[in-house]
Chain A
């Protein structure tokens, strides 16, 4: 047994394990040093965790679109970040109109529903058009072709929206209902963040049940297992792929509005960074796996929020928060060293990757 392990061990493996070990050591030492410093109280840590959860659940919602499309088409839909941008950018104008007419003030819940519906509709339309125009004609083409097409489509959409809505940014109006915070004993949770976390969790749960429990969900899963066999079984493969894009578009649109409600600014380039992060989250959770996307997103959000202050502050690194992206991506590398298929990604990898 030991001999076989030794025989298989390559220099690369040893290097990877050493790197992983070193990173883990830095994390442990840094965290211990920070905690012993006593600079942050329990309330601070609670805040960091809530911030991370709110950010992470948005990443998770976007990551869904990446992971479902990957599951069914084995391609990375790099234009998904523009699906994310298009909805809230459009809905921002609706929100501003509602705010000016005073409707937002008098009927906040109805207004929010309208904003969400507009955003989700626009994102869905963009996602479906993307599939129909950019990806379907290339379904038989080699794998790299749709990938490059996706990047092209991403630029096309970005600059189309720049042309439509201008190159500057717009800001979502204040919604009084979502301002302020709820107090849970000594702990304080911002309303907007609680809403984001709850809404994302609900959407995720609903989606998971949809894919696992309904006939359409079953058909989508069948297509992602094997397109030809699914077609032989009488499943409308193209229809299922469109439905996948619809789900991805809707969740991206919803994620976009949640993001915009939290950060207010929307502009034509807003999808780029969250898109990359969400893609990372999808890979982190195991690409092709729906609960994995959510888990990956939350993981990433938590590391971004907690990482700099927990791992690096104690080591005396100056202004550690600018390194949060580096920390997020090092976490990705670390997870991939120990679990090359991502946190929940084993089922898929053996068969198709």
Chain B
């Protein structure tokens, strides 16, 4: 018995000694942690998008942006294959938490692209930040996500989408100065995206000299919008701004035509429902209405190439406005990985998580499809160009988005 214990001590001592003699990983230190990818293993990128349900077109569109970015890199980065995984984030807070929790538990993920809806990002990003990861959103536009007071919980968050401080102001400017309306109403769906966007719109509109007759809210799952529209009609607005999502937005558009007093009101939505799916939901009622959305005509020359690849790969035109932003987000991540990753002597790739974050935040004058991206210290990277689009009967009939802007502020 005694000899056995002695033997185990000796074995332990040898093990300790051999561990001490192993090559020290000093070169790959990082404040949060170092990710090791053995040669032959993939670099894992994850998305958290809304890929199911009535708002799925937004998620599918952005997911395709990532896939084309990976294709453009030949599916490889620094000699390692790139693998894309992902979770559905359902365009609500619960879905965001579920997706973020699941992805944060996977230590193989290098970086994430997402989320789609600001409501998912608000509770989801802190989980990802805590796990030491970093996420770049192609379509969150709510201002608070990149607010200077956003706090350390959001330290792992950047976005290539525009800030709605820009979009809301452009919409108000268009309504007041171009359409010359003075009385407007708004609807939001309680999501941080819609709430903030309509607030910016209302604030700007009032500052310009207009009146807001009412600011209403619905639930994203509501189907019967007639009562709320009747209430709005009682205030006699000339213009209705409802920057919500496809399902509820479709109901509002269809039912506005049916409510007494709303027939002549000019309708305007935002980028959250700028999608062929929206035309399916709203039908002919969408003809003549306006949307604020990123200006595709101002995108870089490479965008045409992108569209060709998209058509070839998926056999259709993009489904929502944020595919190019997703492409840029992915390319930004790839560039940052290339900058900070170090190869060990045995071919293992070491990526410092803090270093990756720093590299992303240091992105400067990055030539993307959506413009020249420069990230500020709070994660806003976009080169925001917002234009106004008008829907024609042809758009609705063929389920394609209008291609040329109706008006742009610059």
Tell me the A residues contacting B by CB distance below 8 Å: 39-40, 43-44, 47-48, 51-52, 55, 162, 167-171, 174, 181, 188, 190, 259, 262-265, 267, 269, 273, 304-306, 308-309, 313, 318-319, 321-322, 324-325
Contacts and interface: CB of A to CB of B under 8 A. Distances in A.
Given A263-B251, A264-B250, A318-B215, A43 B234 contact: no
Residue of A55, A269, A322, A325 ringed by the most chain B CB atoms within 10 A: A322
Contacts of B56: 167-168
Contacts of B37: none
B260 A47 contact: yes
A324 B250 contact: no
Contacts of A263: 223-224, 251
B206 to A, nearest CB: 16
A168 B54 contact: yes
Given A168-B277, A169-B247, A319 B54 contact: no
Given A51-B224, A174-B284, A265-B250, A319 B217 contact: yes
A319 B230 contact: no
Contacts of B221: 273
B136 to A, nearest CB: 25
B190 interface: yes
B258 interface: yes
B234 A40 contact: yes
Interface of B: prevailing SS: mixed
Contact of B234 (A39, A55, A262, A321): A39
A339 B329 CA distance: 58
B218 A322 contact: yes
A159 B188 CA distance: 30
B51 A171 contact: no
A167 B53 contact: yes
A304 B224 contact: yes
Contact of B230 (A47, A167, A181): A47
Nearest to A322: B217
Nearest to B214: A319
A61 to B, nearest CB: 15
A171 B280 contact: yes
B258 A308 contact: no
A90 to B, nearest CB: 18
A321 B52 contact: no
Interface size class, chain B: 35 or more
A309 B231 contact: yes
A264 B255 CA distance: 11
The 7 closest A-B pairs by CB, nearest first: A319-B217, A322-B217, A167-B52, A321-B228, A169-B54, A51-B226, A263-B223
A190 B258 contact: yes
Given A51-B230, A174-B283, 6 more contacts: A44-B234, A51-B226, A167-B53, A168-B54, A308-B227, A325-B219
A324 B227 contact: yes
Nearest to A167: B52
Interface string B243-279: 0000100110010001110000000000000000100
B133 interface: no
Given A171-B281, A171-B283, A48 B227 contact: yes
B260 A188 contact: yes
B57 interface: yes
Contacts, number: 99
Nearest to B227: A305
Nearest to A187: B260
Contacts of A267: 53-54
A169 B277 contact: yes
Contacts of A39: 234
A10 B231 CA distance: 43
Contact of B259 (A47, A269, A308): A47
Contacts of B283: 171, 174, 264
A188 to B, nearest CB: 6
A212 B70 CA distance: 66
B311 to A, nearest CB: 20
Given A39-B234, A322-B219, A309 B227 contact: yes
B173 interface: no
B203 interface: no
Contacts of B230: 44, 47-48, 51, 309
B358 interface: no
B214 to A, nearest CB: 8
A55 B284 contact: no
Interface in B30-77: 51-54, 56-57
A44 B277 CA distance: 32
Nearest to B233: A44
A105 B212 CA distance: 42
Nearest to B260: A188
A309 to B, nearest CB: 5
A52 B258 CA distance: 15
Contacts of B87: none
A51 to B, nearest CB: 4
A335 to B, nearest CB: 21
B383 interface: no
B273 to A, nearest CB: 13
A264 B218 contact: no
Nearest to B52: A167
A280 to B, nearest CB: 15
B153 interface: no
Contacts of A43: 260
6 contacts: A162-B52, A265-B251, A269-B53, A322-B216, A322-B217, A325-B219
A308 B228 CA distance: 9
A181 B258 CA distance: 8
Given A47-B259, A168-B277, A321-B217, A265 B224 contact: no
A170 B280 CA distance: 8
A331 to B, nearest CB: 15
A48 B224 CA distance: 11
A171 B54 CA distance: 11
A321 B281 contact: no
A181 B219 CA distance: 27
A169 B218 CA distance: 20
Contacts of A171: 250, 280-281, 283
Interface in B179-230: 188-190, 214-219, 221-224, 226-228, 230
B217 A168 contact: no
B106 to A, nearest CB: 23
Given A51-B226, A305-B224, A265 B231 contact: no
B212 to A, nearest CB: 12
A320 to B, nearest CB: 8
